A and B are shown apart, each in its own frame.
Chain A
Amino acid sequence: RKEVEQDPGPFNVPEGATVAFNCTYSNSASQSFFWYRQDCRKEPKLLMSVYSSGNEDGRFTAQLNRASQYISLLIRDSKLSDSATYLCVVNFGGSQGNLIFGKGTKLSVKP
């Protein structure tokens, strides 16, 4: 069974805070990992891919632990514009790449 689990939140944090989201996935043969961002009633948009060695893009850092089947996203120095739902997304294999989404973690950054 292909499942992606996330803490649904909501996370309510002040501007400037550091916040971390976690995600677990069910299949150790999973191939590709992503964090997408979804604003209310909008389409998902890629925030970043997640690589085995971990990767950073500005204030965002993603980590992957294949042994524990665990993915994380760290947001430093939160901005009001970071308020959104963050979706953990896994391609469980194959170039056809149908994505399996977590339910998302809602983040609300307050002034």
Chain B
Amino acid sequence: EPEVTQTPSHQVTQMGQEVILRCVPISNHLYFYWYRQILGQKVEFLVSFYNNEISEKSEIFDDQFSVERPDGSNFTLKIRSTKLEDSAMYFCASTPPGGGYNEQFFGPGTRLTVL
């Protein structure tokens, strides 16, 4: 069964450093998302991406964040200058044609720890 994959599974970084989180969505999916979950809190929407551009972004997704689909398979989330409060689990998700009315398939997540 196809699945969303994410790398790395755990990333530790120093405050102020840039990080890139990588995702490979399911191959025939068209809509891509990033969510985050701070430990003990709810899953929060960050950004949606369709047709090679951002569709919608939340208040969390400020200028420090960017997304890219550089090669038709990878979907990346970049945090330019990490803060302590960026420590969280970051989930990538994708959904097939039909978009958000359908199930979103989540990757296993990248645990980001900012020291």
Chain A positions within 8 Å of B, measured between CB atoms, are 31-32, 34, 38, 41-46, 49, 87, 91, 94-104
Contact = CB atoms under 8 A, between A and B. Distances in A.
A32 B95 CA distance: 14
Contacts of B44: 101
Contact of B100 (A41, A94, A103): A94
Nearest to A103: B42
Given A43-B91, A43-B108, A98 B100 contact: yes
Nearest to B106: A43
Interface residues of B, number: 28
Nearest to B97: A95
Interface of B: 31, 33, 35, 41-45, 48, 50, 55-56, 58, 89, 91, 95, 98-109
21 contacts: A32-B100, A32-B101, A42-B108, A43-B109, A44-B43, A44-B106, A45-B106, A49-B103, A94-B99, A95-B99, A95-B100, A96-B50, A96-B99, A97-B99, A97-B102, A97-B104, A98-B48, A98-B58, A98-B100, A99-B100, A99-B104
A95 B56 contact: no
B43 A97 contact: no
Contact of A96 (B43, B56, B58, B106): B56
Contacts, number: 70
Nearest to B44: A101
B101 A97 contact: yes
Contacts of B103: 34, 46, 49
Contacts of B102: 97
B91 A98 contact: no
A43 B102 CA distance: 17
A44 B31 CA distance: 17
